[in-house]
Structure formats: structure tokens, C-alpha cells
Chain A
Amino acid sequence: MSGELSAVKVGFSYGGAEVLRNVSLSIGAGSQVGLAGPSGSGKTTLARVLAGLIPPSAGHVACNGAPVRRGDGSIAMLFQSPRRSCSPRMTLRAVIAEGIAGVRGPRRRREIDAGVRQFAARVQLTGDLLDRYPHEVSDGQLQRACLARALAARPDYLICDEATAMLDAATTAAVVRIISGEVAARSLGVLALSHDRELLEAWCGAIKHLP
């Protein structure tokens, strides 16, 4: 079936430790699904399996009807720690440019610059912040840059793994608003993973649980 990102009877073990057993889940294009579960319930593992970063030990994952392939650009991720997902030696402009060029984006300097401006504005990062390095901005500002990088790749699906856990309430609300805007505007499918049920209830249409 096309138009969804799905996990079918997925299992995963790290060595002998079984983390996921028989998990099925699907995210339709243009929908937002919340996945709740306490620390250690396997949320991050499921996120990585869905994104094609690690193969499941049982079952399979499919994106729009085809097997998920690592790095094909159709699935983007937003992580908990923006600091750990940005090179300390790249400016915010370079971070976003990575997303613009991505795997299926433009290669010309001028097009990349225009794209950076467009997506920086979308996440409300103003001009002078773009020339700073990660250590010169706050967690909230850096997570906005990571969101711009993720959206700039024009993915079909976005997986947010505790993406707001380090942020204050105001930045959390802003990030959720920006993502929801993309869902409405271009049918982005979103999976939001968090231990915070209340956040997921306010954010997503549907909530599922990992045991």
C-alpha cells in the first residue's frame, strides 16, 4: 500500500536483549501519530528501524509501498539533542544547507542560498544567527536549525525522537506549530515519540503506546 510509512510485526534485539516484539504501526501521509512510552520502552529503537538506520531482526518496514532504504531522503529525523546532531565546526547556515542539498536537492550555490533563507525563515531563525556556530546559540535556536535541515530535505515523513525534551515550553510550542504547518501544507507524515503523554495529546491526532 502506498502513502504510508509502516512497520509490520517488527522485532529487534540488541545481542540477547529483546527491545521490540511484534510491533506494528503506520503513519499516513499528512497525519501525525504520537508514540508514548517510558524511558527504555524501545521508542528510539523503533524510530531508528522506521528510518532505515538499523534493520529489524523480525518483520519489515515499508515507505510508500517500497522497502525503507537507508539515506534515500524520504524520511527525516529530528533528535533529542541538537548539539549531538550538529557538527560544532559548521555554522547554522551550513547545517541548513546540508538539508537543502540533501540527497535530492539542488547543487548550485545560488539555489542552496535561496533555500537556506526560505527554510531559516520558516523556523524563525533571523539573519545574524545563521552565521553562528552551535556553541554560540541556545538549544532552542539550534533545534530550530535542525528542524530547518530536516524540512529542507523535503522528506515525506519526519520522525521526532523526544525532539522537544530539552526545550522550554515556548520553543516546544513553536516547533510543534511549525511541524503541524508542514503537515497541513504538503502532507508531511509525522511520528512523534515522547515520554510526555500530555505533549503528544496536544500535538498529535492519534496516540499509540509501546508497552
Chain B
Amino acid sequence: MERRKLVEDLKSQLGFLRESEVKDIIEEGKKQAAQIIAEAHTKADEMKKREIEQIRANIGEIEIRELEAAKSEQKRRMMNLKIQLIEAAFAASLDTLKQMVNEQVLIYRNSLESLIVEATSQMTGSQFEVILSSKDAEFVRKKLKRIEQEISTIRNISITLGISNEPLRSIGGVVVRSSDGKQVFNNTLEARLAKVRQENLPEIAKILFEGTDA
């Protein structure tokens, strides 16, 4: 009888131990599961937070980025247009010069003398030849002696000028060359136009763009 009781006690103890162990295993499983879910929630919250921060930062940058790009594009377009308009103004100036030469307007004819004087005044030597168009040559030839005298007075030496038979490769103006060919002064209208452009572009642009914000 005692033996039976012992066996039943042992079985009961074994059952109790099993129940306890089963409970622990299940509890541990649930604990781990809860931890996995909690970690996932924490991670999800962090991801959401990061994404929101990124959206907030992005919102701030959209305006700066987009408008800066638009401003930069506008500056480029404005600059290109200005260049085109300046080119057009110089092209119109060149057309006007051609017209003045063709029509032999007084201001042009009268300038030929000063163009020759200006060129020779900046050259050394005493003998020069002037290259100009045949139409201008005809006009200048009549005044050649007077021009020689004027330059001689300025330079304080006796100057001799001749008119070259070489055709002028220009719309007008003069090219003055020393008799030895070592010095050449290009005082054609194209050369003068280029010089005017180089030296006076800011003032010219100011007149062209007067009345604008540019």
C-alpha cells in the first residue's frame, strides 16, 4: 500500500513539474513574441519619424531649390537676350555706317581727313601711303597737300603722303601704312566700331537698355 502511494506521489510530482515547465515555456514564448512586436513598433515609429523629418526638410528645400533654378534660368535668358540686342545694335550701327559711306554723307567725308591725321600722328617715320576706297580716294586726293601740312605741323617734321592703288577691304575709313610697310594703322570703320565697342560697351548698353530694370 505504501509503495502504491509512493508511485502516485512520484507521478503527481512529475505532473506538477511538467505543468510548471509547460507554463514557463509558454510564458517565455509569449514574452519573446511581445518583445518582437514591441521592437517592431519602436522601429516602425522611428521609420515614420525619419520619413516625416525628411518630408519636413524637403518642404523647406522645395521652394529654395525650384526658385533658385528658375532665377538662374531667368538670369541666363536675360543675359542671352542682352547679348543678342547688343549684337543687333552694333549690326544696325554697321548698316548705318555702310549707308553713310554709300551716300557719302558730310560727316563721313569730313572724317576721312581726321582718320588719316589720327593714324599718322601715332606712327613713326615721314612717308606713308593711305589705302581707301576709290570713291574716297578721289575726295582725299584733292586735300592731300593740306593733310600733309597738318600732320607735318603736328609731328614737327615734313610728312609725305601718297594714295595707294591697293583696294580697301572694308566698308570705309582708311588704312595708313608706312612706306617701308613695317607699320600699319587700321582706321577703317570696322576697326573703329570694334574699338568703340571695346572701350564704351557699358555706356552703350546703358543707352540701349534705358527705361528697363536690366
Tell whether A and B belong to one assembly. no
Binding site for A on B (CB under 8 A): none
Binding site for B on A (CB under 8 A): none
